[in-house]
Amino acid sequence: MLVRTEYTPNLMKYIKRDFPKYDVMLREKLKERIRENVFNAYWFYCEGKQVGYCVLATKNTDCLIIYIGIHPEYRNKGYGSTFLKQIRNFYKGVIFAEILPPYSPQNKRRYNFYLRNKYKLINSKYISFQYNRYLMANKKDKSYKNKLRKIYHTILGVRYQLSIHF
């Protein structure tokens, strides 16, 4: 079950755990965007237990997964896939996921997770928070670029010019 949450110290405890110290800028951005309701944060409960959380950026029925965090004791038990299905049931449009280069060792697990859940790497590469990022999506859509621009416009504001290469 997905339960929407606002910024709380408990949520930040998990974000601090999941984002290394060198990613302080990203942690602070997450905190700021959740407080401003630019990002939506959800707790994930299964069988009455809180097993994880996610942070999403949304526009209409489309969304961008900023982060999915499953608590360590529940990892590799299918909870992440169940969580992803619940997100898909809630957001009926295209669901995008940002990943670091799929061939990088630190990203292999995330990339394989999305592949197992029928996400496809879409032909795009861009720079976000000083890193090369790639996008995966849960379904084909001719208007990827337009949908992504709208989501990033919501996240970053009017002045930001997004350059996505397909």
CATH number of the domain that residue 142 is part of: 3.40.630.30
Residue 122 resides in a domain:
yes
pLDDT at 160 (0 to 100):
45
**Out of 90-94, 106-110, 116-120, 160-164, least confident range:** 160-164
pLDDT at 117 (0 to 100):
94
Residue 114 resides in a domain:
yes
Give dist(CA 95, CA 88) in Å, integer.
7
**Out of 8-12, 78-82, 151-155, least confident range:** 151-155
Q: Which of 131, 130, 156 is nearest to 33 (CA)?
A: 156
Residue 85 resides in a domain:
yes
Q: Above 70 in pLDDT, residue 44?
A: yes
pLDDT at 23 (0 to 100):
62
How many domains would you assign to the chain? 1
Residue 161 resides in a domain:
no
Structural domain of 49: 2-156
Predicted structure pTM score:
0.79
pLDDT at 81 (0 to 100):
93
Q: Above 60 in pLDDT, residue 63?
A: yes
Residue 123 resides in a domain:
yes
Residue 165 resides in a domain:
no
Higher pLDDT, 135 or 166: 135
Q: Above 60 in pLDDT, residue 162?
A: no
Give dist(CA 151, CA 156) in Å, integer.
9
